[in-house]
Amino acid sequence: MAVYTDVAADELADFLKAYDIGELLSYKGIAEGVENSNYLLHTTAGSFFLTLYEKRVAVGDLPFFLGLMGHLATHGIVCPQPVKTRGGETLGRLAGRPAAIIDFLEGVWPRKPTVTHCAATGEALAKLHLAGRDFPMTRANALSVRGWRPLFDQAAPRVDTVQHGLHDFLKAELDHLEQHWPKHLPSGVIHADLFPDNVLFLGDRLSGLIDFYFACNDFLAYDVAICLNAWCFEPDHSFNATKARALLGAYNRERALSEAEQAALPLLARGAALRFLLTRLVDALNVPAGALVKPKNPLEYVRKLRFQQSISSIRDYGVVTPGTVA
């Protein structure tokens, strides 16, 4: 979450008149993330999030995102729900941007994820995948393998200013992944961005999943690979096999990975590392002047990608599950 678009108090108060959420008491921008402009609202009826969708989010995708959150909630997945206007609409316009009000979930995201957090996340991810099986809408993953070269091309002229030699390293990896990316794995709705800051906890209990604005249809195991990179590395960049076992074990208890998915997981993890490296790189090179945002460090994912390049089997993660492919 971040703030790129400023909202005046009187403009916001007028916008809220369409909702039954009381009168505005206060609001403040939220400076985490890089995608949309987000505000925490306090009204006489409670707390809510206001999201203004910035240019990277296509307006035509918003019914998918908002509809998915409603669908998952009916299947027991705790996630934010769009607040409807008195006219039954979930989407409006504010400050020249599409905008929605989302209800507030209690909880905090884990700054230092534990094994318990990883297990809870693996379980929740599997349940999300199962719950999404009968969601009727679809959305292609614009940030899967076919979307990576345009990102690379966008960053290429300045990429070596971030790290010497990074251009050739990324080009070689992109060539490899385009040639070897799987074509036939179980697919469905994925979150595609289930980082620690998108999972809320009350103590050790998972209290909700948030930020569904990258959700799409893709390989389910790719979502698992994203989580391996996001949850199972330590601040010193070392891989924590205990966390990986907890995450994958909990996932498998809800939805068992097939042998083909297990065999593909190391390559999917390389792809997931490259995807977030590239988007972080583009964001870091193109932060708007004056934006209330702190871009995430792309070099973190250079290290993760180099690690994933050393992995040839799921066993190399220290994971052994029934039916594991060696």
SS3 147: helix
Q: Nearest Cα to 97, choosing from 4, 2, 30?
A: 4
Q: Which CATH superfamily is domain 9-103 in?
A: Phosphorylase Kinase; domain 1 (3.30.200.20)
CA dihedral 298, 299, 304, 310 (to 10 degrees): 130
Q: Which of 32-41, 270-279, 288-297 has the highest mean pLDDT?
A: 270-279
Beta bridge partners of 199: 209
| Identity at 14, one-letter amino acid code | D
311-316: average pLDDT: 94
Tell me how far apart the alpha carbons of residues 19 and 244 are, in angstroms, rounded to a whole number: 44
Backbone angles phi, psi at 103, to 5 degrees: -70, 160
Residue 322 pLDDT exceeds 80: no
68-88: average pLDDT: 95
Question: Cβ distance 275 to 152 under 8 Å?
Answer: no
3-state helix, strand, coil in the chain (%, to 5): 45, 15, 40
Domain with CATH 3.30.200.20 in the chain: 9-103
Tell me how far apart the alpha carbons of residues 7 and 5 are, in angstroms, rounded to a whole number: 7
97 contact partners, CB below 8 Å, separation of at least 6 = 5, 37, 52, 53, 54
What's the pLDDT score for residue 1?
44
What's the pLDDT score for residue 180?
98
What's the pLDDT score for residue 91?
92
Tell me which of 55-59, 66-70, 116-120 is least confident. 55-59
Q: pLDDT (tens digit, 9 = 90+) per residue, 137-164?
A: 999 999 999 999 999 999 999 999 999 9
Question: Per residue, what are the HEC states of 257-324?
Answer: CCHHHHHHHHHHHHHHHHHHHHHHHHHHHCCCCCCECCCCCCHHHHHHHHHHHCCCCHHHHCCCCCCC
The DSSP result for 26-73, as a single string, is: EEEE----SSSEEEEEEETTEEEEEEE--TTS-GGGHHHHHHHHHHHH
Q: Nearest Cα to 155, choosing from 31, 275, 1?
A: 275
What is the assigned CATH class of domain 115-317? alpha beta
6 contact partners, CB below 8 Å, separation of at least 6 = 95
The DSSP output letter for 25 is: E
Give the model's confidence band at 321: pLDDT under 50 very low, under 70 low, under 90 confident, else very high: low
- The sign of the CA dihedral 7, 52, 197, 316 is negative
SS3 134: helix
